[in-house]
Amino acid sequence: MDSALAIADRGGLEAVTLRAIATDVGATPMALYTYFADKDALYEGMRDRAFARVKLASAARRSWRVMLDAAARSVFQLMREHPNWMPLVAHQSGPPTSALAFFDEVLELMVKDGFSLEEALCAYGSAMSFAVGSVLFEQMMMGGGDVIARRLALLKELVARAPGRYDNIASLASKIDRWSFDDVFDLGISSLLKGIEARPVRPRLRPARSLRAR
Amino acid sequence: MDSALAIADRGGLEAVTLRAIATDVGATPMALYTYFADKDALYEGMRDRAFARVKLASAARRSWRVMLDAAARSVFQLMREHPNWMPLVAHQSGPPTSALAFFDEVLELMVKDGFSLEEALCAYGSAMSFAVGSVLFEQMMMGGGDVIARRLALLKELVARAPGRYDNIASLASKIDRWSFDDVFDLGISSLLKGIEARPVRPRLRPARSLRAR
DNA sequence: ACCTGAACACCGTTCAAGT
DNA sequence: ACCTGAACACCGTTCAAGT
């Protein structure tokens, strides 16, 4: 599984062939079938192996906000370091078990803070969704490697083709020569957690009897 | 391109072979190479074709908040209706041109509301990231089809294997028999936009001279 | 239980050849 | 410019056979 992840890291997921893994670990392609049923099972194993690297423990036992922030940031950084692993995330095979304890602790802290269990679940899902989505969106906008300059050039070209139509993009493209997606992530996760903390009205679960003054 | 999207819709992206498309459109596999250079170009074309279906116009000319909410919701719904198209999103080939006008309008409205151009860019990226991430995360947690019950069973089994360790998950699993990811999306996008609206301090861009009272 | 080697059906793509 | 058909290298997987 480590060999497969390393091969994917170097040459993308399409470079992960049974023959490539076999020669890497010094075996025959068919010998691998002892350890997983088929290629889908291989992908699932790779995904769990990759997610096990997400650092959750360090932020534990603090506020749910710090925990969610740290977890989202860790997922973001991991997938950014290994962009070729991204397609593995889409492989639908249930939640990775390594996150269970962390998940439970976040829920506990949020319930202590007055959230309902369902709200806590939604908050957890939102934070993780934003984390994986940030990687996905960055990859889509930026492409692989250091093509930021190329993207900006493309953007400028598109804008130049229809003068006057995309004024804001034009001024943005001329101002920014290096766009760091870190800023997007930072604003996004902090805004999301701030919004969650503001606690939306929950009429069904807990009808507001008293109105707290701000 | 439509044929390819339809085939992917039915049988997943791995069912999209040049030979399958060829027989579908009534041609020879090699005839397709007139219309795209290789399979990566095919994927890029499919992605742009898919994204063109995102409905952006209806929410235009209103507040940036309504626009971002509608766009994120539309992306979420589109990818949910066509979960097999999801891997196309990860194909890194720059922003789809269909979103440019919408993008520009959001920027304009946000700048009018006092945001900097960079902040507006971050807000746009955050909302879109959350949208695609929600689909991705839902697919990862739920798997394909109506396997929610199976997932919950799996969750209960995992929890039962370590009694007392995952109390919150346990109570959650016993309470919820049908988990709708719509709630996660709703809470997430509203929290995110609420957080953005709250406008974080921007020391670099606009040093706060006067402190506004809450 | 674990490994091997030959074989099969299928894939993207090249090439020479046609209109 | 657009299409064809044969061929090539490669893929996941099956199968019969070994330890």
Q: Is B169 on the interface with A (CB under 8 A)?
A: yes
Q: Is B195 on the interface with A (CB under 8 A)?
A: yes
SS3 state at B114 = coil
Cβ–Cβ < 8 Å for A127, B195: no
Q: How many helices (H) and strands (E) does chain B have?
A: 10, 0
Mean pLDDT of the residues in chain A: 83
Q: What is the largest CA-CA distance in chain A?
A: 70
Ranges A158-172, B70-84, B132-146, B147-161: which has the least confidence: B147-161
- What phi and psi values does residue B194 have, to the nearest 5 degrees? -65, -40
Label residue A189 exposed, middle or buried (CB < 10 Å: 0-12, 13-18, 19+): buried
Kindly indicate the confidence band of residue A182, based on its pLDDT and cuts at 50, 70 and 90: very high
Contact residues, chain A, for B142 at CB < 8 Å: 92
pLDDT at A203 over 60: no
> Which stretch of DSSP H or E encloses residue A134?
helix A117-142
Bigger pLDDT: A117 vs A179: A117
Cβ–Cβ < 8 Å for B137, A125: yes
- Residue A93 CA to residue A46 CA, distance in Å, equals 11
Please report, as a single letter, which amino acid is at residue B146: D
Q: Which alpha helices (DSSP H) does B82-147 contain, by range? A: 86-89, 100-112, 117-142
- Whether residues B125 and A168 touch (CB distance < 8 A) is answered with no
Percent of chain B past pLDDT 90, that is, above it, reads 55
For A139, A140, A141, the CA distances from B52, given in Å and listed in that order, are 19, 15, 16
pLDDT at A151 over 50: yes
Residue A14 C-beta-side C-alpha neighbours within 13 Å: 4
Across chain B, the runs of DSSP E, i.e. the strands, are none
Bigger pLDDT: B7 vs A108: B7
pLDDT at B198 over 80: yes
Average pLDDT over residues B96-118: 85
Across A158-214, the runs of DSSP E, i.e. the strands, are none
How close is the nearest chain A Cα to the Cα of B181, in Å?
8
Cβ–Cβ < 8 Å for B32, B45: no
Q: Tell me which residue of B175, B48, B84, B93 sits closest to A116, measured CA to CA.
A: B175
CA B92 distance to own-chain centroid: 15
Residue B29 beta carbon within 7 A of nucleic strand C: yes
Kindly indicate the confidence band of residue B70, based on its pLDDT and cuts at 50, 70 and 90: very high
How close is the nearest chain A Cα to the Cα of B60, in Å?
15
List the single residue in B with minimal CA-CA distance to A145: B92
How close is the nearest chain B Cα to the Cα of A26, in Å?
29
**pTM of the complete model:** 0.86
SS3 state at B176 = coil
Ranges A76-85, A200-209, B117-126, B181-190: which has the least confidence: A200-209
* Per-residue pLDDT tens over the stretch A34-58: 999 999 999 999 999 999 999 876 6
Give Cβ neighbours of residue B3 (< 8 Å, ≥ 6 apart).
B21, B24, B25
Q: Is B2 on the interface with A (CB under 8 A)?
A: no
Bigger pLDDT: A146 vs B84: B84
Residue A30 beta carbon within 7 A of nucleic strand C: yes
Best residue in A43, A89, A168 for a mutation probing chain B (most B CBs within 10 Å): A168
- Whether residues A193 and B194 touch (CB distance < 8 A) is answered with no
Best residue in B186, B187, B196, B212 for a mutation probing chain A (most A CBs within 10 Å): B187
Residue B74 C-beta-side C-alpha neighbours within 13 Å: 17
Average pLDDT over residues A187-193: 96
Print burial letters for B125-155: b (CB count within 10 Å at least 16), e (below 16): bbbbbbbbbbbbbbbbbbbeeeebeebbebb
